[in-house]
């Protein structure tokens, strides 16, 4: 049986100057998922909504990719860790644009990004101006909900969730209302 001496690891949450330390965790030979659960419990976070990253606090940088939950703390790749960072997973959204392309766009954003940012990013990906399309919440395909009135809301406030489907629809050209150029003459 491998012996692993306990040591301590600091876990931080947040970003930039809003970074907060959760606590020091004594590490044994458990999986990172156990450490992640303990850290999330101390912050009242959903472990499914966050990822655990290597973190260099002095340089304020993270590793190239999140750590895998099934890694054991005895693994060589993890053994020298002393500081970790919990970060919210980006929202990965599906954007359908049947009027423009048959492809399904994949867009990644943060929960704190706005619906306007989502619309702009999706429009840029298909090469249209945001003013030429409408954005719909397609969570329930039978009951599309317009998102145009929520452009200033965060994705979280607009109830946009992981892997949610959204729809970009070309605006219909407005018909000009006016009188016909031919005048009707009445018979006398």
Domain final residue pick, 64, 88, 112:
88
Instruction: Note whether 9 and 84 are within 8 A (CB).
Output: yes
The Cα 42–Cα 36 span in angstroms is: 10
Residue 177 lies in a domain: no
Q: Which domain holds residue 75?
A: 7-88
Tens digits of pLDDT across the chain (188 residues): 333 344 456 676 665 556 666 666 666 667 778 878 887 887 777 787 778 787 766 667 777 677 787 777 665 555 566 677 777 778 889 999 998 888 888 998 887 889 999 999 999 988 999 999 999 998 887 889 999 999 999 988 898 888 889 999 998 876 665 555 444 444 44
Closest CA to 19 of 82, 61, 68, 64: 61
181 falls within a domain:
no
**β-bridge mates for residue 24, sequence order:** 10
CA nearest neighbour of 158 among 173, 175, 137: 137
d(CA 51, CA 145): 30
Of 58, 88, 118, which marks where a domain is finished? 88
My answer on whether 82 and 107 are in the same domain is no
Confidence at residue 45, expressed as pLDDT on a 0 to 100 scale: 77
Nearest Cα to Cα of residue 43 among 73, 12, 18, 71: 12
| Cα 74 to Cα 62: distance, rounded to the nearest angstrom | 21
Supply 165's token pair: 């489907």
State the pLDDT at residue 19. 63
**Structural domain total, the chain:** 2
The answer as to whether 148 is a domain residue is: yes
Question: Which of 66, 88, 110 corresponds to the end of one domain?
Answer: 88
């Amino acid at each position: 049986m491998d012996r692993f001496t306990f040591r301590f690891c600091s876990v931080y949450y947040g970003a930039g100057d809003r970074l907060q330390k959760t606590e020091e965790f004594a590490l044994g030979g458990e999986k990172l998922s156990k450490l992640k659960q303990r850290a999330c419990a101390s912050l009242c976070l959903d472990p499914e909504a966050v990822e655990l990253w290597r973190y260099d606090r002095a340089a304020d940088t993270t590793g190239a990719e999140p750590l895998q939950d099934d890694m054991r703390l005895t693994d060589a790749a993890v053994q020298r860790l002393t500081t970790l960072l919990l970060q919210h997973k980006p929202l990965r959204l599906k954007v359908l644009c049947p009027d423009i392309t048959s492809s399904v766009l994949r867009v990644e954003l943060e929960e704190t990004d706005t619906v306007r940012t989502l619309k702009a990013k999706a429009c840029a990906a298909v090469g249209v101006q945001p003013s030429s399309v409408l954005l719909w919440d397609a969570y329930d395909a039978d009951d599309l909900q317009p998102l145009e009135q929520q452009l200033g809301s965060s994705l979280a406030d607009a109830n946009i969730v992981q892997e949610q489907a959204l729809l970009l629809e070309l605006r219909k050209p407005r018909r000009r209302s006016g009188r016909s150029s031919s005048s009707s003459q009445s018979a006398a």
